[in-house]
Amino acid sequence: MNDSYIYVIVALLPLAAVMLTVQVNPYNALVIRGILGGVAALVYAVLGAADVALTEALVGTMLTTTLYAVAVRSSLVMQIGVLKDELGETDDRSPFFQLIADLQTIGSKYHLRLELLPYPNPQSLHRALIEKEVHVTCIERSHEDEHDSAEIESGRQPYHTAVRIHRLYDILQTELASPATTLTYVTATDSGEKH
């Protein structure tokens, strides 16, 4: 057992572990986790523990990587409630699309995925925000207060973005430089649970 290659192979394991810990992007970290699983299986097999190596390869590399992928995908998501008729617009230049594009760049900076959920009217949108179906709502101001829409269109900020998660609100407040929207923080019904 005192062969020199064993030391080199065992030294690969902390190398892969350090590589895993310095990753920032969660998806990259998942791939590195697979690499760590492969190296760990090799180390266990070289040290003579065949059963541990088999378990590491099957559970550590296959099962947990897939489960983590599903978990990361479903948790790192920003659900945005919008009105249904605004999704129907096809003009790429409209302020709504500008706003969504801005949100997308901010989200990709924090590895967040955007999910647009359409709602039929402003009332149901507001209820969805309060009942925690969505994290953020984007709504045109003219739908909210029943003012003359032409007057609002000439105003500077035609959209109103309501956020119910405090951390998300902090991020958006520092990063969102879009002239199209105002930003407010809304406390949902049960404010004890945050994100």
Partner 1 sequence: MNLILIAMILALLIPIYEAWQDENIWQKMLAFASIASKTSVMILVVSVLRGDWMIGVVGVIILSVGNAGLMLLAHVIKRMNEA
According to the binding rule CB under 8 A, does residue 104 interact with partner 1? no
Site string for partner 1, 61-100 (x = CB under 8 A): xxx-xx--xx--x---------------------------
H-helix segments, 141-192: 141-144, 149-154, 166-175
Distance separating alpha carbons of residues 187 and 166, to the nearest angstrom = 9
According to the binding rule CB under 8 A, does residue 116 interact with partner 1? no
- Closest to partner 1 by CB, 113 vs 141, is 113
According to the binding rule CB under 8 A, does residue 31 interact with partner 1? yes
Nearest Cα to 126, choosing from 83, 165, 70, 91?
A: 83
According to the binding rule CB under 8 A, does residue 48 interact with partner 1? yes
Q: Which two tokens stand for residue 47?
A: 């040290």
Helical (H) or strand (E) element with 106: helix 95-109
Q: Is the CB of residue 155 less than 8 Å from the CB of residue 79?
A: no
Q: Which residues bind partner 1 (CB under 8 A)?
A: 3-5, 8-9, 12, 15-16, 19, 25, 27-28, 30-32, 34-35, 38-39, 41-42, 45-46, 48, 50-51, 53-54, 57-58, 61-63, 65-66, 69-70, 73, 113, 115
